[in-house]
Amino acid sequence: MRDRLSPGAVTLVGLSPLLAAEIRYGLWAHTKSRAPARWFPMCLRTLVRSCLSAGAASLLDLDLDAGGWTPQPAAVNRIVREMLKDVQAVHRNRADTRRLGYIDTNYWGFRFADRRSPFDLTAITQPWLRELAWDYLAATLDGPRRPRRAGTFEQARRSLVCLSAYLSDRDPYRGERPAALSEATAREFVADFTARVAGHEPVLGVFNVDGSPSPATTTTYALYMNALRRVLRWAMETAAAEAAGLPREFIVAVPAGGAVSFKNPRPFSDAVLREVSDPANIALLAAMDPNDGGLADMWSIQVRCGRRISEVIGLRFDCVSEHLGRTWMWVDMTKVGKLDYATQVPRDVYDVIVARQAKTEEKFRLKHGVELTAGQRRTIALFPSRIANPSFERSVSTQSFTVAFKAWLESDQMRLPGHTTHQARHTLATRLVNAGASMAHVKRVLGHVSERMSDSYVLIAGSQVEPFLQQVWVTGPGNHNPGQVVLTPTAAETTTAEQLMIDLAAVPTEHGLCTFKPVVGGHDCPFDRQCHSCEHFVLTGADYGYWRRQEQRWAAMAEGAPDPTARDYIYGAFEKSSQALAGLEKALLALGLLDQARELDLRSPHQDFFDPVWRQGWRADDLVHLGAAQPAAEAPGSPVDGGDGEEGAVAS
C-alpha cells in the first residue's frame, strides 16, 4: 500500500535495525560516488522484500550465489554487491581483510580511478604467501609513493598467483613449507615460465576477466618476474621473509625480468594519412556515434595535434584559449605528471573544440536546467560520459573510443585494419623533423620528458633526421669568424650533404674537436697540434664549461694586471676566445641545451655521443650558415663579469 502511495519511496519497516542501517548507509555512500549506477526504486523494494523473506539480519548474511533468494537476482545482486563494498569497510578492519584474503583500498581512504573492486588474494593458496602478498600491498599503500593506477598492484598479485600455482603443482609439499624452498626451486620456476613463453602456453594459474587463460609472452615474463622480484626483495629487506621462514637462497635466485620491450607503432603512410584525415571518412565515424559523444571530434583533434589519445578524451571543458592571435590547447599529461600543459593548435582544431563546447553546454543545460558556472567550466569534461555521470566530470572511457575507432577502420568504407591512434603521434613527430624542427621543439610539442624519447619517434625520417638533431658546432678561436654557429644545409643542398655524410667525422682534441679530414682519417696533424689557432678547430656544448672557466681566469688575470696596458693586452689575447664562447652560448640557448652544458664538467671518455650536447655537426666550409654572423665582442679593456648567469657571457 505504501509503495503505491509513495512511488519514489522505499520503506524499511520490518527489517532488523542493523540491516536497515546498512541499506541507509549504502544509499548514502552511493550518492557520493563519482560514477553512481542507476538504482531503480522497484529494485530496491525487491531487495527489501527479499531480505524479509530470507530472514537476513545483515547484508553479510546474504548468499548472492544462491539463485532463489530473490526474484530479480541480476539487478538486486548488483545493488547488494555495490553496497557491500562500503558496508564491509564498516564491519571489518584491515586485520580482518588480511585473514579473509583480500585488500581493499577503502581502508586507506581512496580508490583507484581504474578499479572499483578489492584485490582478491584467495587464488594464492598458501597462507604464508597470501599474507606476504597482503603485507607488501599494504606497505605500498602506507608508503610515500602510492601508485596512481591499479596496474602495479594487479601485476604483483598475478605474479604471486603464478608462483603459488607452480608450487601447488610441482613442489613436494605443495608450497606449504616455505623453509623447504631452495635455489633449485626458483630456477625450476623460471625455467617453467620460460618454456611456456617459448611454447606459447598459458601462464600457470592466471586467467583473464572473461575466464580465458592468459598467454605467456616475453612481455608477461618481464612483468611477472620484475613484480615477483620486487615483492621478494621487499620481504627480505623488511625481515618479512625471515618471519615466514623463506630462505634467502630462494629469493636471490629469482632473476629480474629485464626491460619490457614495446614495439613503437609506425607513422601513417601518406595514403593512410589521407584516408584517416578525409572529412568524408571522419563523417563516417561521426555516424557511428548515435549519441553524439564526440568520437569524430576526438579523432580530428588527435590526427592534427598528435596528443596521447587519453589526453584528448580527458580534455576539460575550458581547454582552449587564444593569446596574441595564437590558439592554444591545455591538456593534462598525467602519464608524465604535467597538468595544464599548453600546446599550440591549428585554428581548425580550435574551432572543432569550440563547437564541441557548445554541444556539451547544451547537454548540461537540458539535464540540470541551469547554465554552467565558471567553476564548472574548469572541472567538467569536454566529452562527458552519458552513463552514470550526473556531474559531467567523468569523460568517455578510452575503451569506448578504441572500440569505435577499430570498427571504423575495419568498416567496408575504410578497410584499414591494424592501425592505432598512437600512429598519429609518430606521424606528427616525423613531419615536424622533416619540416626542420629540432629535437627540443619536437619534445616541446609532444610533451616528452626527454629528447631520447622524441628520438624514438622520428627514426623513419632517415637522412632528414640528422641535420636537425641539435648538432651544435661553433667555430673556434682560430677561425676567421670565431663564434659563428655552424648549422645544417638548406633543402637545396641536401643531396650534397648526404654525399658528405661519410666524411663528416671528427676526433676529440684538447677542449674541442678537430675536423681536418686527413687527421680524422688517421694521419698526423700537419699544424703541429696548434688546435686553438687552427681554423679546423670547433667547439661543442661539451666544451662550454672549460672555455667559460678559461674566460673567467683570463678576466681575473686582466683585472689584477699592474697597469692598463697589460690589462688591455690580456683582454685582447683572449678576445677571439670570448667571441667563440659567446656564439656557443647563443647556439646552446636557442636549442635549449645551455643548462645541460652548464652542468657538464670536462670532456669524459665515458661521454654519450648520442646525447645532443655531445653530438657533432657539419663542417663550416661544407655547409651554409643560418642567420647573421655573431656580433663582435666588447672592445679590449672592457671588464668581464665572472658570474654564472647569462649576463656573465662576453659580448653575447
| Residues 381 and 310 sit within 8 Å (Cβ to Cβ) | no
Span 163-192, average pLDDT: 93
Classify residue 108: in a domain, yes or no: yes
Out of 223, 252, 281, a domain closes at 252
Question: Would you state the pLDDT for residue 472?
Answer: 67
- What band does 564 get if pLDDT is binned at 50, 70 and 90? confident
Classify residue 257: in a domain, yes or no: no
Classify residue 258: in a domain, yes or no: no
Assess whether 67 and 203 both reside in one domain.
no
Looking at the chain, the number of H-run helices and the number of E-run strands are 27, 12
Assess whether 539 and 562 both reside in one domain.
yes
pLDDT digits (tens, 9 = 90+) for 136-163: 999 999 988 888 788 888 999 999 999 9
Assess whether 52 and 99 both reside in one domain.
no
Question: Would you state the pLDDT for residue 551?
Answer: 84
**Amino acid (one-letter) located at 85:** K
Name the residue range of residue 235's domain. Answer: 95-252
Assess whether 368 and 514 both reside in one domain.
no
Signed CA dihedral, 71, 72, 74, 75: sign only: negative
Could you tell me the CA-to-CA distances from 94 to 119, 124, 127, 136, 161 in Å, in that order? 13, 18, 17, 13, 21
301 pLDDT above the threshold of 90: yes
Angle at 13 between CA 8 and CA 17, to 5 degrees: 120
Assess whether 357 and 478 both reside in one domain.
no
Question: Would you state the pLDDT for residue 530?
Answer: 74
494 pLDDT above the threshold of 60: no
Question: Would you state the pLDDT for residue 617?
Answer: 42
This prediction's pTM: 0.61
pLDDT over 90 for what percent of the chain?
A: 38
CATH code assigned at 342: 1.10.443
| Residues 539 and 531 sit within 8 Å (Cβ to Cβ) | no
Assess whether 208 and 287 both reside in one domain.
no
Classify residue 396: in a domain, yes or no: yes
Cα(377)–Cα(365) distance, rounded to whole angstroms? Answer: 13
Cα(181)–Cα(239) distance, rounded to whole angstroms? Answer: 17
Q: What's the structural domain count of the chain?
A: 5
Out of 63, 91, 119, a domain closes at 91
Give the other-Cβ count within 10 Å of 526's Cβ: 9
Span 608-634, average pLDDT: 39
Nearest to 469 by CA among 452, 447, 483: 452
C-alpha cell at position 82 = 555495490
- What band does 628 get if pLDDT is binned at 50, 70 and 90? very low
Assess whether 173 and 234 both reside in one domain.
yes
Classify residue 262: in a domain, yes or no: no
pLDDT digits (tens, 9 = 90+) for 202-245: 999 998 878 888 899 999 999 999 999 999 999 999 999 999 99
622 pLDDT above the threshold of 90: no
Q: Which residues pair with 395 in a beta bridge?
A: 384
589 pLDDT above the threshold of 60: yes
Nearest to 80 by CA among 37, 123, 17: 37
pLDDT digits (tens, 9 = 90+) for 348-367: 999 999 999 999 999 999 99
Assess whether 103 and 156 both reside in one domain.
yes
Classify residue 263: in a domain, yes or no: no
Classify residue 265: in a domain, yes or no: no
pLDDT digits (tens, 9 = 90+) for 413-427: 999 998 999 889 888
Looking at per-residue pLDDT, the higher value among 65 and 415 belongs to 415
Assess whether 514 and 586 both reside in one domain.
yes
pLDDT, averaged across the chain = 80
Assess whether 64 and 121 both reside in one domain.
no
Assess whether 159 and 121 both reside in one domain.
yes
Question: Would you state the pLDDT for residue 126?
Answer: 94
490 pLDDT above the threshold of 80: no
Ranking 308-312, 333-337, 361-365, 488-492 by mean pLDDT, the lowest is 488-492
Looking at per-residue pLDDT, the higher value among 502 and 55 belongs to 55
pLDDT over 70 for what percent of the chain?
A: 81
Span 500-508, average pLDDT: 48
Question: Would you state the pLDDT for residue 450?
Answer: 63
Residues in the chain: 652
C-alpha cell at position 361 = 553546454
Classify residue 410: in a domain, yes or no: yes
Out of 218, 252, 286, a domain closes at 252
pLDDT digits (tens, 9 = 90+) for 303-320: 998 888 999 999 999 999
Q: Which of 178-182, 254-258, 486-490 has the highest mean pLDDT?
A: 178-182
Nearest to 467 by CA among 439, 426, 431: 439
Assess whether 480 and 461 both reside in one domain.
no
